Structure 1
Amino acid sequence: MSESLLPETMSCRDAFDYAWHCHTVGSQWNAIYRYGEVRSCSDLWDDFWMCMRTRTFSPEQKAAAIKEHFRAREEAKYGGGKPSSEDVWQSRDKPLPPGTAFSAKFDPPIQSDLEYQKMQVERRRRIRAEMEIADNKPTKE
């Protein structure tokens, strides 16, 4: 992860809320459904306690400590050649300016939805007909 994308601030209240919510029945049910096991919430509690420890730091020390905490977390999660989304996508070096994401212009469609659906039905019919012909051909043995 790019150094400029690491957070420098965090809310202790939000960190507590995330950690507490992790233990709820609904959250754990989702974890079991999605991943087949109960989720460990220790990383969220680590965030909360780190935030509490840095409350008395100067603003510069607090920003550095928060950055280091999230840097270590990223290293543990993705460091050492572990698979990550960057195997497919390239990481940005800096955040995008507000209002610039998803602003690409697209050409208007050249056909109506009804025409497109008819074209797709015809394409599927041709594919099925070709498959049927291929399935009915006698094989040479």
Structure 2
Amino acid sequence: MDFKTAVKQEEAYLRRVYPTDIPSCTNHLDTYFACNAIRNLVKSMYRYGYLREDCSEKWAEYKFCMSLKWMGMDERRDAWIRRKAIWWAKRRLGKSSEDVWQIRDEPLPNWPKPVDPARYLRQRPHEFM
């Protein structure tokens, strides 16, 4: 799939999810402040040993939202959807942790067979009494 197709698909999806309205700038500001909250900083230190969270993207979202204030509501919605569609398309087409997995239709040939519970109970009834 090419990038333009991915962006068009994302735009169509976002238009269905946000048929009339988009998140307010206050929501973006709240997300930025939540990113810098002590709870998230402590969680990052605990999990990774350093401050992993980079809140610059959330701040950029807030600034972008504020830059749309002079536009009409339809123009604002179109600009916001376009920006989000580009972000999602980049994320979809970029590398991901899911790239290491291959989808299988059937188990591996040497995968163990499922245990038959009736047979197991006949062999070891004392374990369940």
Q: Do they fold alike, i.e. is TM over 0.5?
A: yes
Cα distance between partner residues in 1 of 2:91 and 2:66: 23
Query: CA, structure 1 residues 12+22, in 2 after alignment: closer, same or farther (shift >3 Å)?
Result: same
Cα distance between partner residues in 2 of 1:67 and 1:84: 26
Cα distance between partner residues in 1 of 2:97 and 2:76: 28
- Of the candidates 60, 64, 74, which is equivalent to residue 50 of structure 1? 64
For 1:64, the equivalent position in structure 2 comes to: 78
Alignment of 1:3-42 (within 5 A): 3-6=11-14, 7=18, 9-38=22-51, 39-42=53-56
Structure with the largest fraction of helix? 2
Stretches of structure 2 lacking an aligned partner (at least 5 in a row): 1-8, 103-116, 125-129
TM-score by structure 2 length? 0.56
Q: Deviations over 1:93-121 (max 9, x none)?
A: xxxxxxxxxxxxxxxxxxxxxxxxxx7xx
Paired-residue identity, %: 22
Stretches of structure 1 lacking an aligned partner (at least 5 in a row): 89-118, 127-141
Shift in Å at residue 9 of structure 1? 1.0
Matched AA of 1:3: E
Matched AA of 1:9: I
Alpha carbon RMSD of aligned pairs, Å? 3.2
| Displacement over 6 Å in runs of 4+ | 84-88
Structure scoring higher RCO (CA < 8 A, sep ≥ 6) equals: 2
Report the count of equivalent residues: 94
* Equivalent residues of 1:10, 1:66 under 8 A apart: no
